[in-house]
Amino acid sequence: MTTITMPVTATVTTMSETLPDPFIYGWRQVIRFGPAGERLYVRVPLTLEDILHPQEDDVRMHSYEHEQICTYLNNVFQAQLAHDPTAKVLLDVRVAWDRPNVDPHTPDIAVVFGLKRQQNWATFYEAKEGTRPTLVVEITSPSTRYVDLVDKFDEYELVGLDYYILIDHHQNRHGEQRRVLGYQFTPNGYTYISPNEQGWLWLEPLGIWLAWDEDILVCYNKAGELIPNYVQVTQERANLKAQVKEEIQARTEAEARIAELEAELRRLRGEDK
């Protein structure tokens, strides 16, 4: 198999033509035929339309922060739903809606309830599974932010997605801005979910709070306690083990010292007699 990376040609009109890096959104592998009729696998840049409505094997570019947030939320959401065998968290899985006028999307994170089976989905077909995502989280990126804020908002509202959550990080004239936006579907369309006085957003289907803590996205349980990430849990476990080891060592040394003192006391009492 021969794979060739091709720049955008003049015969294809895409947003990528005006960008310094034509592969800024990612790439898709397509089949072309060479001069001798040989089959070639060519990488072509994705467009904004491809980001909105991707194919299964598209490779999309994500930032470090984007990946960190997705990993954290995926782990937290799975832990919250561990008691429900019919629930599943889909990470970067294509969703085909049971609506003929709405093409598939690939949400950053989708939460599905009411599953009769679980499998290794590349595309989750609402019609086949008999259910669909209840909640979707999208994490904005500067180059594709409009797609999440406008295009996906409109199309998720069109399919009647119950909860649409946006993790937004952008620059404006006032500087760096971070916010969590939540929308709940109603008979009249999406209604904005107001955060509490601390700026935390309540995710009803998961029973957790979602918020920015300065430049880190975090979750809190119903009691308002921070839900740590895997690194923090591992570090806390290591610290606890080290603390227990130190306490055992200190107790062993103390018991040894007490035994020495008792022996010395018995010796002294023997000398007094």
92-114 per-position pLDDT tens digit: 999 999 998 999 999 999 999 99
pLDDT value of position 7:
43
Does 135 lie in the same domain as 17? no
Give the DSSP H or E segment for 152: helix 152-159
Look at 181 and 118; give whichever has higher pLDDT. Answer: 181
Amino acid at 1: M
Does 185 lie in the same domain as 251? no
- 35 inside domain: yes
Whether the Cβ atoms of residue 22 and residue 7 lie closer than 8 Å to each other: yes
pLDDT value of position 218:
97
The SS3 assignment for 7 reads: coil
Does 242 lie in the same domain as 137? no
CA dihedral 141, 142, 145, 146 (to 10 degrees): -160
Q: How many domains does the chain have?
A: 3
Return the exposure string of 182-206: e unless at least 16 CB atoms fall within 10 Å of the residue's CB, then b: bbebeeeebeebebeeeebbbbeeb
pLDDT value of position 54:
96
Interstrand relation of 175-186 and 3-5 (parallel, antiparallel or unpaired): unpaired
Does 215 lie in the same domain as 192? yes
Say yes or no to pLDDT of 11 above 70: no
Does 95 lie in the same domain as 169? yes
The SS3 assignment for 1 reads: coil
Mean pLDDT of 8-36: 70
Backbone angles phi, psi at 43, to 5 degrees: -95, 125
DSSP conformation letters of 104-146: -B--SEEEE---S-----SEEEHHHHT--EEEEEEE--TTTHH
Instruction: pLDDT band for 26, please (50, 70, 90 cuts).
Output: very high
- 161 inside domain: yes
- 74 inside domain: yes
Does 88 lie in the same domain as 35? no
Does 223 lie in the same domain as 140? yes
Say yes or no to pLDDT of 6 above 50: no
- 55 inside domain: no
Q: 138-169, pLDDT tens digit by residue?
A: 999 999 999 999 999 999 999 999 999 999 99
Does 162 lie in the same domain as 36? no
- 57 inside domain: no
Does 271 lie in the same domain as 216? no
- 172 inside domain: yes
- 56 inside domain: no
- 175 inside domain: yes
Say yes or no to pLDDT of 205 above 60: yes
Does 115 lie in the same domain as 177? yes
Range of the domain at 253: 229-273
pLDDT value of position 245:
79
